[in-house]
Amino acid sequence: MTEKLSDTERKAELDPLLEAGWTLLDDRDAISKTFKFKDFTEAFGWMTRAALWAEKWNHHPEWQNTYNRVEVTLTTHDVDGLSPLDAKLARKMDSL
């Protein structure tokens, strides 16, 4: 079972993500990032690749696509906050 990030884990997991452009949301325990692409096809292709990993790990993002932009929010609803799965999926999204 997934657990919420501890204070120690938060620093280790989130600091590199924040340096990579992710932001902590003010109104809930979640991170978000906007990915920009050349066009809709590239954005949708990236979403498809990310969706395969999300499905494999059974951890699904909140996201929205408008033309060449994908806005992503990650949080773990089962623990009402950030978990190691969010950091793992964020790192994967950054690498795609």
> What does the pLDDT read at residue 1?
74
For helices 84-95 and 7-19, angle between their N-to-C axes, nearest 10 degrees: 20
Residue 45, amino acid: G
CATH code at position 44: 3.30.1360.20
The count of structural domains within the chain is: 1
Which residues of the chain register pLDDT less than 70?
none
Residue 25 lies in a domain: no
The predicted pLDDT at position 65 comes to 98
Express as a percent the part of the chain with pLDDT over 70: 100
Model confidence pTM above 0.75: yes
> Is 65 within a domain?
yes
CA pair distance 4, 85, nearest whole angstrom: 9
Domain range for 77: 31-95
Burial class (CB in 10 A: 0-12, 13-18, 19+), 47: buried
